[in-house]
Chain A
Amino acid sequence: MITHLLSAADLDRSTATLVLDTATEMATVAGREVKKLPTLRGRTVVNLFYEDSTRTRTSFEVAAKRLSADVINFSAKGSSVSKGESLKDTALTLQAMGADAVVIRHSASGAPHRLARWVDGSVVNAGDGTHEHPTQALLDAYTMRSRLGTLEGLRVAIVGDVLHSRVARSNVLLLATLGAKVTLVSPPTLLPVGVGAWPCAVSYDLDAVLGDVDVVMMLRVQRERMNDSYFPSAREYARRYGLDVARAARLPEHAIVMHPGPMNRGMEIAPEVADSARATIVEQVANGVSVRMAVLYLLLGGKS
């Protein structure tokens, strides 16, 4: 197993599969009356969140607690961080407190990589800027596998603001590792220059892709993009790249619809589609806990 989880590229095929298989076992815990394993008793997991993200932080917190770890939520607001303490000083503080793992969410791409140089414990990237969000990719892969049986050869369309999406970056890397075929669908302005080197296909035309996919994953469009010339208007974006009812009707019958949340209903996804049986959005949240349990277990469980 690896020391840190900074990028989905840190996982080779066998390690990624081990995480998903472990998550399957962890999911059985959620069905028990006592939802707790003693595995990480005496271990300390710090949630270091520089960005507000109640859902991701809570998911990691629940995951760590179900493994009996002590959890410290070190949020940037109301702590020394908001008084201008550097990431390095915060890292040394957490180190001195004996953190076995630090789960970090940060608005700066690469912040987890910097942190990993300054702490001895494991660092888990819970989303860094516009870079990566590897546990989201793992829970997405887990969701696809549990719904559709396999990832090998699966045709996945990831639709929306790829340029600024850490979810897209991690998913492309992980899904390629696991044998799925990814197509990114986006207006050209929201694809990074250099995307040609990624292990995936690219399309500007959602309608051309939809009839031929097993999974369609809609990305959130951030409000601040809407007035920055990436596209003419929210309305035009929704018309060209939104998953509305008519488009959803043209998906193959077995195809699932995913969204990492939070959604802009009516923008990238119609409410009827988000609430339909093929949508996995609530499942993704539940699977997030199992996958994060698996990650923490595999990163920390092997150490004495």
Chain B
Amino acid sequence: MSSFVLTGARILGAAKTDIVITDGVVAEVAPGASAPGATRIDADGLVALPGLVDLHTHLREPGREDAETVESGSRAAALGGYTAVCAMANTDPVADTAGVVEQVYRLGRDAGLAHVQPIGAVTVGLAGERLAELGAMADSAAAVRIFSDDGHCVSDPRLMRRALEYVKAFDGVIAQHAEEPRLTAGAQMHEGEWSARLGLTGWPAVAEEAIIARDVLLAEHVGARLHICHVSTAGSVEILRWAKARGIRVTAEVTPHHLLLTDALAESYDPVFKVNPPLRTDADVAALRAALADGVVDVVATDHAPHTVEDKECEWPYARPGMLGLQTALPVVLHTMLDPALLDGGGEPGPARLDWDGVAERMSRRPARIAGLAGHGRDPAPGVPANLTLVDPAARVTVDGGEIASRSRNTPYAGRTLPGRVVATFLAGAPTVLDGKAQR
């Protein structure tokens, strides 16, 4: 395998150094380090981060290859700085058997742009009625550890309890889409002043919070691990804070869009802003940012949800919920969470802000630990698998829907200028992205 030397890189924003990659592994980190025959990559001033890990990606294959494929989604991931993505189970057919999760796993391996770790469905067909063969998926070549009915809530409390208990046998975790379905029938957007004004059926915050409250208590009762998908409300943060203080084994993710966008955007009735859970209020955004900074919310996960043009270019109530995220997640997090002084090099983070290490923790190391991906989420150091990404903190990029690698175009950030640009991504020592361009 070939060797690379990344010159002048700043690991987690620290002083410039050179990183040597040989045979898929970081061989040396030191100023002036090199290896015979190594390809030199000019990384002068670029920030090196462990390759990003996404706990929540919809790759749509099998079933909706018109919206995204494992390959196109992996390419978007690599361009976004990701080296591993967890593929949600709500495909068609649903990833509720060893056969489907192995198919997705192999498609990811063949694409070779990111490690694709399938998530298995909790219940057969996401129907919420009986458990899928969780053990068979865990034992399969895909070695599934995260199980989720995402898109649907495991709303039956008895079934949720059993799922939490059962996956303890193989150190699995249930990732809950927290939405009490009886409170969200026909819901179109956050229930509040904007839904009242726009005449769109409301999705109340309590529908999320009630399920999180129930599930942290269930997880405590049976001594299981629980992960909460896309936390979106200030009230959810308070429940998670309480549960963590109590020692309950719960982790939680927030999406980039819930860190930046609010329900006021529905005023246009443009369904590019329709997502589930819905965009919330300014107060929720502030609470989520603070929770991510102080660790009550553990990680950022994209909930990358590609949809075809015809599923979005229509009346709001008829549109599918979801937005793209893989290629914009890091810039949105840098914009909302990184201390501005660090974007141009130097400076100390202010209150409720992250430094580069904090970004790496929430977008790489911690998600890799939750997903059980041993080769990912490790800072570049000798002997560590070379899964890393190089970011230009001084760059400002205006999002252009036409330049997105996904098959779909439903980005809510079109026209926005965001900080940071992924220059290169290495997956197991091989470049998937160089000079901002996908290598395959």
- Chain A residues within CB distance 8 Å of chain B: 86-88, 106, 108-111, 113-114, 128-132, 166, 169, 192-198
Given the contacts A108-B315, A114-B314, A193 and B204 also touching, CB distance less than 8 Å: yes
Min Cβ gap A23→B in Å is 25
Min Cβ gap A266→B in Å is 28
Residues of A contacting B317 in the complex (Cβ-Cβ under 8 angstroms): 108-110, 129
B315 touches A132 (CB 8 A): no
A109 touches B316 (CB 8 A): yes
Query: Could you tell me the distance between the alpha carbons of A236 and B198 in the complex, rounded to whole angstroms?
Result: 29
* Chain A interface helix/strand/loop/mixed: mixed
Residues of A contacting B316 in the complex (Cβ-Cβ under 8 angstroms): 108-110, 114
Segment of B64-72, B108-116, B187-195, B334-342 in the binding face: B187-195
Option from B188, B197, B310 in Cβ contact (under 8 Å) with A194 = B197
Residues of A contacting B269 in the complex (Cβ-Cβ under 8 angstroms): 109-111, 113-114
Query: Could you tell me the distance between the alpha carbons of A197 and B264 in the complex, rounded to whole angstroms?
Result: 14
Query: Could you tell me the distance between the alpha carbons of A114 and B317 in the complex, rounded to whole angstroms?
Result: 12
Query: Could you tell me the distance between the alpha carbons of A63 and B193 in the complex, rounded to whole angstroms?
Result: 35
A130 touches B204 (CB 8 A): no
Q: Which residue of A lies closest to B318 (CB)?
A: A108
Q: Does B199 sit at the interface, judged by CB under 8 A?
A: yes
Q: Which residue of A lies closest to B199 (CB)?
A: A131
Query: Could you tell me the distance between the alpha carbons of A87 and B271 in the complex, rounded to whole angstroms?
Result: 14
Query: Could you tell me the distance between the alpha carbons of A195 and B317 in the complex, rounded to whole angstroms?
Result: 21
Given the contacts A110-B269, A114-B269, A194 and B314 also touching, CB distance less than 8 Å: no
Q: When A and B form their complex, which 5 residue pairs have the shortest distance between CB atoms, in order from nearest? A: A110-B269, A131-B199, A194-B196, A192-B196, A108-B315
Query: Could you tell me the distance between the alpha carbons of A130 and B187 in the complex, rounded to whole angstroms?
Result: 13
Query: Could you tell me the distance between the alpha carbons of A27 and B52 in the complex, rounded to whole angstroms?
Result: 68
Min Cβ gap B91→A in Å is 25
Q: Which residue of B lies closest to A165 (CB)?
A: B199
Task: Pick 22 A–B contacts, CB within 8 A, sort by A.
Answer: A87-B314, A87-B315, A108-B315, A109-B269, A109-B317, A110-B198, A110-B200, A110-B269, A110-B317, A114-B314, A128-B199, A130-B199, A130-B200, A166-B199, A192-B196, A193-B192, A193-B196, A193-B204, A194-B192, A194-B194, A194-B202, A197-B193
Query: Could you tell me the distance between the alpha carbons of A108 and B188 in the complex, rounded to whole angstroms?
Result: 11
Q: Does B313 sit at the interface, judged by CB under 8 A?
A: yes
Given the contacts A86-B310, A86-B314, A110-B316, A129 and B193 also touching, CB distance less than 8 Å: no
B193 touches A114 (CB 8 A): no
Query: Could you tell me the distance between the alpha carbons of A197 and B198 in the complex, rounded to whole angstroms?
Result: 13
Interface hits, B258-304 → A, CB 8 Å:
268-270
B314 touches A131 (CB 8 A): no
Min Cβ gap A61→B in Å is 24
Q: Which residue of A lies closest to B313 (CB)?
A: A88
Min Cβ gap A55→B in Å is 21
Most chain A CB inside 10 Å of its own CB: which residue of B193, B201, B315: B315
Query: Could you tell me the distance between the alpha carbons of A129 and B269 in the complex, rounded to whole angstroms?
Result: 13
B195 touches A194 (CB 8 A): yes
Most chain A CB inside 10 Å of its own CB: which residue of B196, B270, B316: B196
Interface string of B163-201 (1 = CB under 8 A from A): 000000000000000000000000010011111111111
B315 touches A131 (CB 8 A): no
Min Cβ gap A132→B in Å is 7
